[in-house]
Structure 1
C-alpha cells in the first residue's frame, strides 16, 4: 500500500504529465489517501484536467478539490456573453437537447437545469459548459426522466463493465434495491470508481446510483 508521500509524488508527476496543466500553480496535500488540490488557474478546463489527473492515480481513496479559476483581463467575459456562448454551443452539439435545458449564469458560476432522457445528455451538457471561456464553476442539476428499471438491467450494466478498458468488472457487484442501482466491490482508483458509475448511468431507467465501491491500492 502506498504511503501518503508516495501518492503525493505520483499526483505531482501526473499533473506534470498533463500538457495543459502547470503543476507549479497547484498545491497537493495528501492525508490517509485523501487528496486535496489547491491553487489558482486561468481556465476551467485546466481545473478539470488537474482533478481528473489526480483521480487517476492509484492509491487515491477520495478527492477534495479547492482549485479556483481566475481569468486574465483578456479572457474575462460578462455573464451575458457566457450565457450566449453556452446557448450557441448547445445548439451545435447533437448530444445536448438544448430545448430541455435551462442556463443561469452569475459571476461566471453556471447552473444548468432541466430534465433529459439519458445520462450521456446530462454529461454532454456539462462538458460543453466546461469548454466555454469565462466559466468559473458548474452546478449541474439536470435530472433524468423516471423510467422503470427492467429486470435485466444488472446484466446490461455488468456487460458494459466488461466492455470497458477502464473497469475491472470481476471486482464489482451490481444490485437493484428499491428501484435504485447499488454498486459494491473493490476498484483500484477513483477514476475507475467514477467510470463504473458512469457506465451504470448509461442503462435505461437508471437515475440514482449508490456507489459503495471501495478504492483499494494493491
Structure 2
C-alpha cells in the first residue's frame, strides 16, 4: 500500500501529465487512499478531466471533488445562450435519441430530464454538456426504461465481468431488483471498481446501480 505522501506525489504527477488540466489551480491531499482535490477551475471540462486523472492512479480508493468552476469573463454566457447551445449539442449527438432529453439552465447550471432506452444514451447526453462554454455544472436526471427480466440482467452482468476480468468477477456479488443492480464485494483498485460499475450500467435493462464495492488497500 502506498503511503499518503507517495499517493499525493503520484496524483500530482498525473495531473501535471494531462494537458487538459491546469495543475497549478488544484490542491491535492491524500489520506488512507482517499484523495481530495480543492481549488477553482475555469471550465467544467477541466474539472471532469481532473477527476478522471485521479481515478487512473493506482492506490486511489476514493475521490472527494471539492473543486468548483469559476468562469473567467470570456467564458461567461447567458442562460438562454447556454440552453440554445445545449439543445443543439443534443440534436447533433447521434448517440442521443431525438426529442427524448430536455434541458433547463439556471445560472450556468444545466439540468437534463427525460427518458432514454440505454445507459450509453444517458451518459452521452451528459458528456456533450461538459465542453460547452459557460456551463458551470450538470445535473443528469434522465431516467432509463427497463427492458429485460432481473434474471437476465444478473446473468449478463456476471458474463460481462467474467469477460473483462475473471479474477475480479469471483469477488463481486450481483443482486437485481427490477432495473436496480446492487454490486457488493471487494476489488483491487479504483480502476477495477469503475470497470465493474461500467459493466453493470452498460447492461440492457439496468436503470440504476447501487455501489457497495470496497476497494482493497
TM-score (norm 2): 0.90
- Report what 1:113 is aligned to: 113
- Report what 1:210 is aligned to: 210
**CA distance in 2 between partners of 1:145 and 1:178 (Å):** 11
**1:178, distance to aligned residue in structure 2 (A):** 6.5
**1:177, distance to aligned residue in structure 2 (A):** 4.9
**CA distance in 2 between partners of 1:45 and 1:98 (Å):** 24
**CA distance in 2 between partners of 1:142 and 1:191 (Å):** 25
- Report what 1:37 is aligned to: 37
Greater mean deviation of Cα atoms: 42-51 or 204-213: 204-213
The runs of 4+ residues in structure 1 deviating greater than 3 Å are: 162-165, 167-171, 177-180
- Report what 2:14 is aligned to: 14
- Report what 1:85 is aligned to: 85
Contact 1:27 1:39 survives alignment (8 Å): yes
Q: Unpaired runs of 5+ in structure 2? A: none
Contact 2:147 2:204 survives alignment (8 Å): yes
**1:171, distance to aligned residue in structure 2 (A):** 3.6
Query: Deviations 1:62-100 (Å, cap 9, x if unpaired)?
Result: 211011112222221111111111111111111112411
- Report what 1:76 is aligned to: 76
Greater mean deviation of Cα atoms: 185-194 or 110-119: 185-194
**How many residues end up aligned between the 2 structures?**
216
**CA distance in 2 between partners of 1:121 and 1:100 (Å):** 10
Query: Deviations 1:29-48 (Å, cap 9, x if unpaired)?
Result: 22222111011111211110
Q: Does 1:193 align with 2:169?
A: no
- Report what 2:124 is aligned to: 124
Q: What SS does the corresponding residue of 1:71 show, helix, strand or coil?
A: coil
**1:61, distance to aligned residue in structure 2 (A):** 1.8
Greater mean deviation of Cα atoms: 10-19 or 208-217: 208-217
Contact 1:186 1:213 survives alignment (8 Å): yes
Contact 1:58 1:188 survives alignment (8 Å): no
Contact 1:79 1:108 survives alignment (8 Å): yes
Contact 1:180 1:206 survives alignment (8 Å): yes
**1:160, distance to aligned residue in structure 2 (A):** 2.1
Q: What SS does the corresponding residue of 2:20 show, helix, strand or coil?
A: coil
Query: Deviations 1:166-215 (Å, cap 9, x if unpaired)?
Result: x9434433233566322122223333312211221121211122221111
Q: Unpaired runs of 5+ in structure 1? A: none
**1:148, distance to aligned residue in structure 2 (A):** 4.3
TM-score (norm 1): 0.90
| Match runs of 1:37-186 below 5 Å | 37-164=37-164, 168-177=168-177, 180-186=180-186
